[in-house]
Amino acid sequence: MTGLPMYQSLAPEQFSLTDEEFALVGKLLHVRSGIILGDHKRELAARMIGLRVRKMGLSSATEYLKRLQQDPQSEEWDAFVNVFTINHTAFFRERHHFGILADFIRTRSNPVHVWCCAASTGEEAYTIAITLLENTVAKEPKPWVWATDIDTQAIEKARKGIYTLERVQPVPEPLLKKYFYRGKGSKSGLVRVKPVLQEIVEFEPLNLVAPSWPSNQKFDAIFCRNTMIYFDKPTQTRILERFAPMLKPGGLLFAGHSENFTYLTKAFRLRGQTVYALA
């Protein structure tokens, strides 16, 4: 016996949650972020909460969850949500969308504004920015990407714009040369996004299920790909109906390959492969 409260003396793999605690984690996560917590996340949840409990010098997971509930403004909410987000993304993911975006940009009046609303670690937003710059003739005013995500750690990484050579493999070589610096010496194996790209992308934390979004601007296109799959249908419908007034007439909504919004709302109609227009 160490004399420490239980959580303080356990190794991380020994942390566990009662059924009630795990159910409460799922409820809090869903209300806060819209994300549905699957049973297979139980060990992850136990480990994460165990580590936080230990770090904060608390005595139990119940005490930790109570603290979260007592302070909706607490920064601890970021740490809590960040653990359960799935940040899988890639440059030029679902490549056909960027051909459609390129054609679309050429039909729009300048400057084109795009909202990338679940930008994760930035690969999608920078791909949109490259497509904007490559297909915009006028130099000024510049096109712009508003890149948001609930995950504050992912947003921090995105802002830095540093990636491994493996991550940028899908970027065609001429675009890689044009928009990225290649690391040398201790930085070889890494690339960094050039200012020309960074200055047209603004990263900001944003929760899609928050009661209000910090923008009443209208966008030519919204990318919301591979994120709605983590939400239940009523949440998806609510978000889609909030997207509609944020699109300019003729604007487009890009969805992920396994997402189908057709039966969720009458606000959008399918226009191409996982691309929607206002109805």
Ligand X SMILES: C[S@@+](CC[C@H](N)C(=O)[O-])C[C@H]1O[C@@H](n2cnc3c(N)ncnc32)[C@H](O)[C@@H]1O
- Quick one: which of 124, 131, 267, 268 contacts ligand X (CB under 6 A)? 124
- The verdict on 227 binding ligand X (CB under 6 A) reads yes
- The verdict on 120 binding ligand X (CB under 6 A) reads yes
Q: Token pair of 48, please? A: 């994460």
Site for ligand X in 157-196 (CB under 6 A): none
- Quick one: which of 25, 68, 89, 92 contacts ligand X (CB under 6 A)? 89
Neighbours of 12 (CB within 10 A): 11
Write each residue from 31 to 50 as x if it is in contact with ligand X (CB under 6 A), else as -, in one continuous string: --xxx---------------
- Quick one: which of 207, 213, 246, 270 contacts ligand X (CB under 6 A)? 207
Contact 130, 175 (CB under 8 A): yes
CA distance 120 to 168: 15
Binding window for ligand X (CB under 6 A); candidates: 67-75, 133-141, 144-152, 164-172: 144-152
First to last CA, the chain: 66
Q: What is the CA radius of gyration of the chain?
A: 21
- The verdict on 87 binding ligand X (CB under 6 A) reads yes
- Quick one: which of 131, 136, 226, 265 contacts ligand X (CB under 6 A)? 226
CA torsion through residues 261, 256, 128, 33, sign:
positive
Contact 259, 274 (CB under 8 A): yes
CA distance 115 to 21: 36
- The verdict on 208 binding ligand X (CB under 6 A) reads yes
**Contacts with ligand X, residue ranges (CB under 6 A):** 33-35, 85-89, 93, 118, 120, 124, 149-151, 154, 207-209, 225-227, 230, 256
